[in-house]
Protein backbone atom coordinates (compact mmCIF):
# COMPACT_ATOMS: atom_id res chain seq x y z
CA UNK A 1 0.00 0.00 0.00
CA UNK A 2 1.41 3.41 -0.98
CA UNK A 3 2.03 5.77 1.92
CA UNK A 4 0.75 9.34 1.61
CA UNK A 5 3.45 11.35 -0.09
CA UNK A 6 5.01 8.47 -2.00
CA UNK A 7 4.74 8.65 -5.78
CA UNK A 8 4.17 5.89 -8.28
CA UNK A 9 6.42 5.83 -11.32
CA UNK A 10 3.41 6.76 -13.44
CA UNK A 11 2.74 9.79 -11.23
CA UNK A 12 6.38 10.83 -11.61
CA UNK A 13 6.08 10.51 -15.39
CA UNK A 14 3.05 12.78 -15.37
CA UNK A 15 4.75 15.30 -13.07
CA UNK A 16 7.81 15.34 -15.34
CA UNK A 17 5.61 15.88 -18.40
CA UNK A 18 3.78 18.82 -16.82
CA UNK A 19 6.96 20.27 -15.35
CA UNK A 20 5.77 19.95 -11.74
CA UNK A 21 8.87 17.87 -11.13
CA UNK A 22 11.96 18.84 -13.12
CA UNK A 23 14.69 17.18 -11.01
CA UNK A 24 15.04 13.65 -9.65
CA UNK A 25 17.64 12.88 -6.99
CA UNK A 26 18.87 9.35 -7.65
CA UNK A 27 20.48 8.28 -4.38
CA UNK A 28 22.27 5.41 -2.78
CA UNK A 29 23.47 5.00 0.81
CA UNK A 30 27.17 5.08 1.68
CA UNK A 31 28.87 3.43 4.66
CA UNK A 32 28.28 6.52 6.75
CA UNK A 33 24.53 6.45 6.07
CA UNK A 34 24.56 9.50 3.78
CA UNK A 35 22.67 10.04 0.54
CA UNK A 36 25.04 9.89 -2.44
CA UNK A 37 24.07 10.10 -6.08
CA UNK A 38 23.12 12.34 -8.99
CA UNK A 39 20.55 14.96 -9.92
CA UNK A 40 18.72 13.92 -13.11
CA UNK A 41 16.59 15.99 -15.41
CA UNK A 42 13.21 14.44 -14.63
CA UNK A 43 12.30 13.74 -18.25
CA UNK A 44 15.56 11.90 -18.84
CA UNK A 45 15.03 9.84 -15.70
CA UNK A 46 11.53 8.71 -16.67
CA UNK A 47 12.61 8.04 -20.25
CA UNK A 48 15.59 5.81 -19.55
CA UNK A 49 17.63 6.37 -16.39
CA UNK A 50 14.95 4.74 -14.22
CA UNK A 51 16.32 1.39 -15.38
CA UNK A 52 19.81 1.98 -13.98
CA UNK A 53 22.67 4.42 -13.73
CA UNK A 54 26.24 4.08 -12.48
CA UNK A 55 28.53 5.38 -9.76
CA UNK A 56 32.16 4.93 -8.81
CA UNK A 57 32.59 1.93 -6.53
CA UNK A 58 34.64 4.02 -4.12
CA UNK A 59 31.35 5.17 -2.58
CA UNK A 60 31.53 2.09 -0.33
CA UNK A 61 35.22 2.59 0.45
CA UNK A 62 35.61 6.19 1.62
CA UNK A 63 35.55 7.96 4.95
CA UNK A 64 33.63 11.04 6.08
CA UNK A 65 36.08 13.23 4.16
CA UNK A 66 35.68 11.13 0.99
CA UNK A 67 39.31 10.01 1.32
CA UNK A 68 40.19 6.74 -0.42
CA UNK A 69 42.17 4.60 2.04
CA UNK A 70 43.85 1.40 0.95
CA UNK A 71 42.95 -1.93 2.46
CA UNK A 72 39.51 -2.68 1.03
CA UNK A 73 39.09 -5.93 -0.88
CA UNK A 74 36.21 -4.56 -2.95
CA UNK A 75 38.03 -1.72 -4.67
CA UNK A 76 41.30 0.17 -4.64
CA UNK A 77 43.68 2.33 -6.66
CA UNK A 78 45.33 -0.84 -7.93
CA UNK A 79 41.95 -2.16 -9.11
CA UNK A 80 41.23 1.16 -10.82
CA UNK A 81 38.06 2.15 -8.96
CA UNK A 82 35.45 0.88 -11.39
CA UNK A 83 31.66 1.22 -11.37
CA UNK A 84 28.71 -0.05 -9.42
CA UNK A 85 25.23 -0.12 -10.91
CA UNK A 86 22.70 2.09 -9.12
CA UNK A 87 19.36 0.31 -9.54
CA UNK A 88 16.43 2.60 -8.61
CA UNK A 89 13.88 1.07 -6.24
CA UNK A 90 10.78 2.58 -7.79
CA UNK A 91 8.74 1.91 -4.64
CA UNK A 92 10.76 4.64 -2.89
CA UNK A 93 9.94 7.57 -5.21
CA UNK A 94 8.78 10.57 -3.22
CA UNK A 95 8.70 14.36 -3.53
CA UNK A 96 11.20 16.45 -1.59
CA UNK A 97 8.95 19.43 -0.80
CA UNK A 98 11.72 21.57 0.70
CA UNK A 99 13.50 21.53 -2.69
CA UNK A 100 11.61 23.17 -5.56
CA UNK A 101 10.43 20.83 -8.33
CA UNK A 102 12.34 17.87 -6.90
CA UNK A 103 11.63 14.20 -6.27
CA UNK A 104 13.97 11.43 -5.14
CA UNK A 105 14.41 7.69 -5.44
CA UNK A 106 16.63 5.34 -3.47
CA UNK A 107 18.81 2.82 -5.26
CA UNK A 108 20.30 -0.57 -4.57
CA UNK A 109 23.94 -1.09 -5.49
CA UNK A 110 24.68 -3.93 -7.90
CA UNK A 111 27.91 -5.44 -9.12
CA UNK A 112 28.62 -4.06 -12.60
CA UNK A 113 29.29 -7.50 -14.08
CA UNK A 114 27.00 -9.92 -12.24
CA UNK A 115 24.18 -7.47 -11.42
CA UNK A 116 24.00 -9.09 -7.98
CA UNK A 117 23.62 -6.81 -4.96
CA UNK A 118 26.91 -5.69 -3.46
CA UNK A 119 27.01 -7.50 -0.09
CA UNK A 120 28.81 -4.62 1.68
CA UNK A 121 26.01 -2.19 0.74
CA UNK A 122 24.07 -1.03 3.83
CA UNK A 123 20.70 -1.66 2.16
CA UNK A 124 21.78 -5.17 1.13
CA UNK A 125 22.98 -5.97 4.65
CA UNK A 126 19.62 -5.00 6.16
CA UNK A 127 17.67 -6.77 3.41
CA UNK A 128 19.47 -10.00 4.23
CA UNK A 129 18.48 -9.86 7.90
CA UNK A 130 14.88 -8.94 7.08
CA UNK A 131 14.79 -11.95 4.75
CA UNK A 132 16.20 -14.17 7.50
CA UNK A 133 13.49 -12.96 9.88
CA UNK A 134 10.86 -13.67 7.22
CA UNK A 135 12.24 -17.19 6.86
CA UNK A 136 11.65 -17.64 10.59
CA UNK A 137 8.09 -16.36 10.21
CA UNK A 138 8.64 -12.82 11.53
CA UNK A 139 8.35 -9.28 10.23
CA UNK A 140 10.69 -6.90 12.08
CA UNK A 141 8.98 -3.64 13.07
CA UNK A 142 11.25 -0.86 14.26
CA UNK A 143 11.49 2.85 15.00
CA UNK A 144 14.44 5.18 15.49
CA UNK A 145 14.65 8.45 17.39
CA UNK A 146 16.76 11.21 15.82
CA UNK A 147 18.51 13.60 18.21
CA UNK A 148 20.60 16.53 17.01
CA UNK A 149 21.74 20.03 17.94
CA UNK A 150 20.77 23.29 16.26
CA UNK A 151 23.24 26.18 16.33
CA UNK A 152 22.75 29.92 15.94
CA UNK A 153 25.22 30.25 13.07
CA UNK A 154 25.39 28.56 9.68
CA UNK A 155 27.65 25.68 8.72
CA UNK A 156 29.80 28.05 6.67
CA UNK A 157 30.22 30.52 9.52
CA UNK A 158 31.05 27.79 12.01
CA UNK A 159 33.62 26.24 9.68
CA UNK A 160 35.19 29.67 9.10
CA UNK A 161 35.66 30.00 12.87
CA UNK A 162 37.52 26.65 12.87
CA UNK A 163 34.54 25.22 14.75
CA UNK A 164 35.10 27.46 17.77
CA UNK A 165 31.99 29.64 17.53
CA UNK A 166 29.54 26.95 18.55
CA UNK A 167 26.57 28.64 20.17
CA UNK A 168 23.41 26.49 20.45
CA UNK A 169 20.17 28.01 19.20
CA UNK A 170 18.88 28.15 22.79
CA UNK A 171 20.57 29.07 26.05
CA UNK A 172 19.15 26.45 28.40
CA UNK A 173 17.90 22.87 28.70
CA UNK A 174 14.80 22.73 26.56
CA UNK A 175 13.58 19.21 27.32
CA UNK A 176 9.83 19.22 26.57
CA UNK A 177 9.98 23.05 26.76
CA UNK A 178 7.19 24.59 24.67
CA UNK A 179 8.19 28.27 24.96
CA UNK A 180 11.81 27.65 23.93
CA UNK A 181 10.85 25.36 21.07
CA UNK A 182 8.40 27.99 19.81
CA UNK A 183 11.47 30.13 19.12
CA UNK A 184 12.80 27.33 16.91
CA UNK A 185 9.65 26.71 14.88
CA UNK A 186 11.11 28.48 11.83
CA UNK A 187 13.32 25.38 11.54
CA UNK A 188 11.33 22.61 13.20
CA UNK A 189 7.91 23.30 11.65
CA UNK A 190 9.14 22.92 8.05
CA UNK A 191 11.08 19.80 9.07
CA UNK A 192 7.89 18.16 10.37
CA UNK A 193 5.61 19.30 7.58
CA UNK A 194 7.96 18.77 4.64
CA UNK A 195 8.91 15.29 5.79
CA UNK A 196 5.26 14.36 6.35
CA UNK A 197 4.46 15.60 2.84
CA UNK A 198 7.32 13.43 1.57
CA UNK A 199 5.59 10.34 2.93
CA UNK A 200 7.40 9.90 6.23
CA UNK A 201 5.06 9.12 9.15
CA UNK A 202 6.31 11.95 11.34
CA UNK A 203 4.80 11.96 14.82
CA UNK A 204 6.36 14.92 16.61
CA UNK A 205 9.38 16.99 17.51
CA UNK A 206 10.39 18.07 20.99
CA UNK A 207 13.14 19.85 22.83
CA UNK A 208 15.73 17.44 24.23
CA UNK A 209 17.73 17.45 27.46
CA UNK A 210 20.26 20.13 26.55
CA UNK A 211 20.48 23.66 25.21
CA UNK A 212 19.75 23.62 21.49
CA UNK A 213 19.08 19.88 21.36
CA UNK A 214 16.13 18.56 19.35
CA UNK A 215 14.43 15.22 18.87
CA UNK A 216 12.45 14.04 15.85
CA UNK A 217 10.17 11.03 16.26
CA UNK A 218 8.93 8.91 13.35
CA UNK A 219 6.26 6.22 13.68
CA UNK A 220 7.34 2.59 13.76
CA UNK A 221 7.42 0.76 10.44
CA UNK A 222 8.88 -2.34 8.79
CA UNK A 223 12.65 -2.34 9.25
CA UNK A 224 13.65 -1.29 5.72
CA UNK A 225 11.12 1.55 5.72
CA UNK A 226 12.42 2.70 9.10
CA UNK A 227 15.99 2.87 7.80
CA UNK A 228 14.85 4.77 4.69
CA UNK A 229 12.83 7.19 6.83
CA UNK A 230 15.76 7.80 9.18
CA UNK A 231 18.21 8.51 6.35
CA UNK A 232 15.89 10.85 4.47
CA UNK A 233 14.92 12.67 7.68
CA UNK A 234 18.53 13.19 8.76
CA UNK A 235 19.35 14.57 5.32
CA UNK A 236 16.32 16.87 5.40
CA UNK A 237 17.13 18.21 8.87
CA UNK A 238 20.55 19.34 7.65
CA UNK A 239 19.19 20.89 4.45
CA UNK A 240 16.25 22.68 6.06
CA UNK A 241 18.41 24.05 8.89
CA UNK A 242 20.90 25.25 6.25
CA UNK A 243 18.08 26.93 4.32
CA UNK A 244 17.18 28.84 7.49
CA UNK A 245 20.76 29.96 8.14
CA UNK A 246 21.49 27.50 10.94
CA UNK A 247 23.70 24.45 11.39
CA UNK A 248 22.28 21.10 12.45
CA UNK A 249 24.77 18.57 13.81
CA UNK A 250 24.41 14.86 14.47
CA UNK A 251 27.86 14.62 16.09
CA UNK A 252 27.16 12.55 19.22
CA UNK A 253 29.31 14.62 21.60
CA UNK A 254 30.25 18.12 20.49
CA UNK A 255 30.93 19.48 23.98
CA UNK A 256 32.46 17.73 26.98
CA UNK A 257 30.20 19.68 29.32
CA UNK A 258 26.94 18.79 27.54
CA UNK A 259 25.02 15.56 27.09
CA UNK A 260 25.38 13.79 23.76
CA UNK A 261 22.91 12.90 21.02
CA UNK A 262 21.60 9.38 20.63
CA UNK A 263 19.53 7.36 18.23
CA UNK A 264 17.54 4.87 20.25
CA UNK A 265 16.11 1.92 18.32
CA UNK A 266 12.72 0.40 19.24
CA UNK A 267 12.16 -3.17 18.09
CA UNK A 268 9.51 -5.86 17.92
CA UNK A 269 8.72 -8.87 15.74
CA UNK A 270 5.29 -9.31 14.17
CA UNK A 271 3.37 -12.18 12.60
CA UNK A 272 -0.04 -12.02 10.93
CA UNK A 273 -0.50 -8.42 12.06
CA UNK A 274 0.20 -9.17 15.73
CA UNK A 275 3.16 -8.34 17.95
CA UNK A 276 4.70 -11.71 18.84
CA UNK A 277 6.66 -10.07 21.66
CA UNK A 278 3.39 -9.72 23.61
CA UNK A 279 2.13 -12.47 25.87
CA UNK A 280 -0.55 -11.38 28.37
CA UNK A 281 0.41 -14.31 30.59
CA UNK A 282 4.14 -13.62 30.49
CA UNK A 283 6.09 -11.62 33.06
CA UNK A 284 5.87 -7.92 32.10
CA UNK A 285 3.75 -9.04 29.12
CA UNK A 286 6.82 -10.57 27.45
CA UNK A 287 6.64 -13.69 25.32
CA UNK A 288 9.34 -16.34 25.27
CA UNK A 289 10.24 -15.14 21.78
CA UNK A 290 10.86 -11.65 23.12
CA UNK A 291 12.95 -12.96 26.01
CA UNK A 292 15.17 -14.97 23.65
CA UNK A 293 15.48 -11.98 21.30
CA UNK A 294 16.53 -9.61 24.07
CA UNK A 295 18.95 -12.16 25.49
CA UNK A 296 20.61 -12.38 22.07
CA UNK A 297 20.96 -8.62 21.83
CA UNK A 298 22.52 -8.42 25.27
CA UNK A 299 24.88 -11.37 24.73
CA UNK A 300 26.19 -10.05 21.44
CA UNK A 301 26.12 -6.30 22.22
CA UNK A 302 29.93 -5.95 22.28
CA UNK A 303 30.15 -7.72 18.89
CA UNK A 304 27.95 -5.17 17.14
CA UNK A 305 28.67 -1.97 19.10
CA UNK A 306 30.83 -0.63 16.26
CA UNK A 307 27.73 -0.40 14.05
CA UNK A 308 25.96 1.68 16.71
CA UNK A 309 29.01 3.84 17.45
CA UNK A 310 31.23 4.00 14.33
CA UNK A 311 33.64 6.87 15.13
CA UNK A 312 36.12 7.92 17.80
CA UNK A 313 33.74 10.66 18.99
CA UNK A 314 30.89 8.15 19.36
CA UNK A 315 32.41 6.78 22.56
CA UNK A 316 32.67 10.18 24.24
CA UNK A 317 28.90 9.98 24.70
CA UNK A 318 28.96 7.01 27.09
CA UNK A 319 29.18 9.01 30.30
CA UNK A 320 27.57 8.25 33.65
CA UNK A 321 24.59 10.44 34.52
CA UNK A 322 23.88 11.66 30.98
CA UNK A 323 21.11 9.19 30.00
CA UNK A 324 23.62 7.48 27.70
CA UNK A 325 24.12 3.86 28.81
CA UNK A 326 27.42 2.38 29.95
CA UNK A 327 26.37 -1.22 30.60
CA UNK A 328 24.77 -3.98 28.51
CA UNK A 329 21.89 -4.94 30.78
CA UNK A 330 18.13 -4.50 30.54
CA UNK A 331 15.64 -2.88 32.84
CA UNK A 332 11.92 -2.12 32.91
CA UNK A 333 11.25 1.46 31.74
CA UNK A 334 14.61 2.61 33.09
CA UNK A 335 16.67 5.07 31.05
CA UNK A 336 19.97 4.20 32.72
CA UNK A 337 20.16 0.74 31.10
CA UNK A 338 21.51 -0.21 27.69
CA UNK A 339 18.21 -1.94 26.90
CA UNK A 340 14.85 -0.68 28.14
CA UNK A 341 11.60 -2.61 28.16
CA UNK A 342 8.88 -0.27 26.88
CA UNK A 343 5.11 -0.77 26.89
CA UNK A 344 5.21 -3.20 29.80
CA UNK A 345 2.15 -5.46 29.88
CA UNK A 346 0.59 -4.02 26.70
CA UNK A 347 0.33 -5.07 23.06
CA UNK A 348 2.93 -2.38 22.33
CA UNK A 349 5.60 -4.14 24.40
CA UNK A 350 9.01 -3.75 22.76
CA UNK A 351 12.70 -3.43 23.45
CA UNK A 352 14.52 -0.12 23.10
CA UNK A 353 18.26 -0.33 22.49
CA UNK A 354 19.78 2.87 23.91
CA UNK A 355 23.39 2.28 22.86
CA UNK A 356 23.31 3.86 19.40
CA UNK A 357 24.46 7.43 18.83
CA UNK A 358 23.12 10.04 16.44
CA UNK A 359 25.94 9.21 13.99
CA UNK A 360 24.89 5.62 13.31
CA UNK A 361 24.01 4.30 9.85
CA UNK A 362 20.44 3.04 10.40
CA UNK A 363 20.66 0.21 7.84
CA UNK A 364 23.71 -1.25 9.53
CA UNK A 365 22.42 -0.66 13.06
CA UNK A 366 19.04 -2.27 12.43
CA UNK A 367 20.68 -5.18 10.61
CA UNK A 368 23.04 -6.12 13.42
CA UNK A 369 20.41 -5.66 16.11
CA UNK A 370 18.18 -8.03 14.15
CA UNK A 371 21.03 -10.47 13.65
CA UNK A 372 21.74 -10.63 17.38
CA UNK A 373 18.09 -10.89 18.34
CA UNK A 374 17.36 -13.64 15.83
CA UNK A 375 20.44 -15.54 17.00
CA UNK A 376 19.07 -15.33 20.52
CA UNK A 377 15.85 -16.96 19.30
CA UNK A 378 17.78 -19.66 17.46
CA UNK A 379 19.91 -20.38 20.52
CA UNK A 380 16.90 -20.15 22.87
CA UNK A 381 18.95 -17.96 25.18
CA UNK A 382 17.71 -17.31 28.70
CA UNK A 383 17.12 -13.69 29.67
CA UNK A 384 18.60 -12.67 33.00
CA UNK A 385 16.33 -10.81 35.46
CA UNK A 386 16.05 -7.06 34.88
CA UNK A 387 18.48 -4.75 36.60
CA UNK A 388 16.81 -2.26 38.94
CA UNK A 389 17.73 1.19 40.17
CA UNK A 390 20.68 3.21 38.92
CA UNK A 391 22.36 0.94 36.38
CA UNK A 392 25.39 3.23 36.28
CA UNK A 393 26.19 1.97 39.79
CA UNK A 394 25.56 -1.70 39.02
CA UNK A 395 28.55 -3.95 39.64
CA UNK A 396 29.66 -7.18 37.99
CA UNK A 397 27.83 -6.44 34.75
CA UNK A 398 29.39 -6.09 31.33
CA UNK A 399 30.37 -2.68 30.05
CA UNK A 400 29.71 -1.32 26.59
CA UNK A 401 33.03 -1.12 24.67
CA UNK A 402 34.57 2.17 25.75
CA UNK A 403 36.51 3.06 22.61
CA UNK A 404 36.44 2.62 18.86
CA UNK A 405 39.58 0.49 19.12
CA UNK A 406 37.90 -1.90 21.56
CA UNK A 407 34.72 -2.13 19.49
CA UNK A 408 36.76 -2.69 16.32
CA UNK A 409 38.65 -5.63 17.82
CA UNK A 410 35.44 -7.13 19.19
CA UNK A 411 33.89 -6.90 15.74
CA UNK A 412 36.96 -8.45 14.14
CA UNK A 413 36.72 -11.44 16.48
CA UNK A 414 32.94 -11.90 16.31
CA UNK A 415 32.22 -15.44 15.18
CA UNK A 416 28.49 -14.72 15.23
CA UNK A 417 28.64 -11.71 12.88
CA UNK A 418 31.11 -13.46 10.59
CA UNK A 419 28.67 -16.34 10.30
CA UNK A 420 25.62 -14.12 9.81
CA UNK A 421 27.01 -11.26 7.70
CA UNK A 422 29.92 -13.08 6.08
CA UNK A 423 33.66 -12.55 6.36
CA UNK A 424 33.74 -10.14 3.42
CA UNK A 425 31.24 -7.77 5.07
CA UNK A 426 32.85 -7.93 8.51
CA UNK A 427 36.35 -7.39 7.09
CA UNK A 428 35.08 -4.43 5.06
CA UNK A 429 33.71 -2.62 8.10
CA UNK A 430 36.65 -3.58 10.29
CA UNK A 431 38.80 -1.78 7.71
CA UNK A 432 36.52 1.26 7.97
CA UNK A 433 37.01 1.24 11.74
CA UNK A 434 40.77 0.80 11.40
CA UNK A 435 40.99 3.81 9.11
CA UNK A 436 39.01 6.02 11.49
CA UNK A 437 41.33 5.01 14.33
CA UNK A 438 44.46 5.46 12.21
CA UNK A 439 43.39 8.96 11.19
CA UNK A 440 42.64 9.97 14.77
CA UNK A 441 45.93 8.54 16.02
CA UNK A 442 47.82 11.01 13.80
CA UNK A 443 45.79 14.04 14.96
CA UNK A 444 47.00 16.59 17.49
CA UNK A 445 43.96 17.67 19.52
CA UNK A 446 43.13 20.90 21.32
CA UNK A 447 43.26 18.90 24.55
CA UNK A 448 46.91 18.00 23.98
CA UNK A 449 47.88 21.57 23.06
CA UNK A 450 46.14 23.15 26.03
CA UNK A 451 47.38 20.58 28.49
CA UNK A 452 50.98 20.28 27.43
CA UNK A 453 52.07 23.28 25.35
CA UNK A 454 53.55 25.06 28.35
CA UNK A 455 53.55 22.49 31.12
CA UNK A 456 54.99 19.40 29.45
Tell me: do 180 and 106 sit in the same domain.
Answer: no
Tell me: do 169 and 46 sit in the same domain.
Answer: no
**Among 118, 147, 177, which residue terminates a domain?**
118
* Amino acid 396: pLDDT: 77
* Amino acid 58: pLDDT: 93
Residue 225 lies in a domain: yes
Euclidean distance between CA atoms 248 and 213, whole angstroms: 10
Domain count, the chain: 2
**Among 97, 118, 139, which residue terminates a domain?**
118
* Amino acid 4: pLDDT: 59
Find the mean pLDDT for residues 143-170: 96
* CA distances for 206 relative to 41, 214, 357, angstroms: 37, 6, 18
Which residues are within 8 A (CB) of 208 and not within 5 positions of it... i.e. 6 or more apart? Answer: 147, 174, 175, 214, 215, 261
Euclidean distance between CA atoms 104 and 320, whole angstroms: 41
Tell me: do 291 and 168 sit in the same domain.
Answer: yes
Tell me: do 23 and 150 sit in the same domain.
Answer: no
Tell me: do 77 and 212 sit in the same domain.
Answer: no
Residue 404 lies in a domain: yes
Under a CB-based contact definition with an 8 Å cutoff, are residues 133 and 269 in contact? Answer: yes
Boundaries of domain holding 163: 129-449
Residue 34 lies in a domain: yes
Asked which of 92-96, 126-130, 319-323, 349-353 is least confident by mean pLDDT, the reply is 319-323
Tell me: do 105 and 140 sit in the same domain.
Answer: no
pTM score, whole prediction:
0.96
DSSP string for residues in 381-398 = PPPPPPP-S-GGG--SSP
* Amino acid 192: pLDDT: 97
Residue 2 lies in a domain: no
Tell me: do 236 and 320 sit in the same domain.
Answer: yes
* Amino acid 381: pLDDT: 97
Residue 159 lies in a domain: yes
Tell me: do 277 and 418 sit in the same domain.
Answer: yes
Tell me: do 100 and 160 sit in the same domain.
Answer: no
Across 230-368, the runs of DSSP E, i.e. the strands, are 247-249, 265-271, 274-275, 330-332, 339-342, 350-353
Band of the pLDDT at 329, cuts 50, 70, 90?
A: confident
Residue 1 lies in a domain: no
Q: How many residues does the chain have?
A: 456
pLDDT tens-place string over residues 224-282: 999 999 999 999 999 999 999 999 999 999 999 999 999 999 999 999 999 999 999 99
Tell me: do 179 and 104 sit in the same domain.
Answer: no
What CATH code is carried by the domain that includes residue 136? 3.30.590.10
Which residues are within 8 A (CB) of 102 and not within 5 positions of it... i.e. 6 or more apart? Answer: 21, 22, 23, 24, 25, 95, 96
Band of the pLDDT at 1, cuts 50, 70, 90?
A: very low
Question: Other C-beta atoms within 10 Å of 156: how many?
Answer: 11
Under a CB-based contact definition with an 8 Å cutoff, are residues 26 and 37 in contact? Answer: yes
Q: Considering only CA atoms, which of 314, 318, 311 is closest in space to residue 439?
A: 311
Tell me: do 60 and 80 sit in the same domain.
Answer: yes
Tell me: do 101 and 250 sit in the same domain.
Answer: no
* Amino acid 391: pLDDT: 73
**Among 57, 91, 118, which residue terminates a domain?**
118
Cα atoms in the Cβ-side hemisphere of radius 13 Å centred on 71? 16
What CATH code is carried by the domain that includes residue 82? 3.10.20.70
Amino acid sequence: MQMPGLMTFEALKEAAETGTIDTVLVCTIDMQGRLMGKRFVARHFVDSAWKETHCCNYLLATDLEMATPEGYATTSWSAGYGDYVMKPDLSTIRPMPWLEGTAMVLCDLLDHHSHEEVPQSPRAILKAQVAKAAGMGFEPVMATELEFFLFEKSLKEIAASDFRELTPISGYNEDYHIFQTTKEEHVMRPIRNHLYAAGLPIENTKGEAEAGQEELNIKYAPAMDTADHHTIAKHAVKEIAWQQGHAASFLPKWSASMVGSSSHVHQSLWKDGENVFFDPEGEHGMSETMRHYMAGQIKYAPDYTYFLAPYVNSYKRFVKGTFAPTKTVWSVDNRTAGFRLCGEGTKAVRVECRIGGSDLNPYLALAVLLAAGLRGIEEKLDLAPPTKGDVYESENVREIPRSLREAMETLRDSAMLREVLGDAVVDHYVRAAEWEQEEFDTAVTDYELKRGFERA
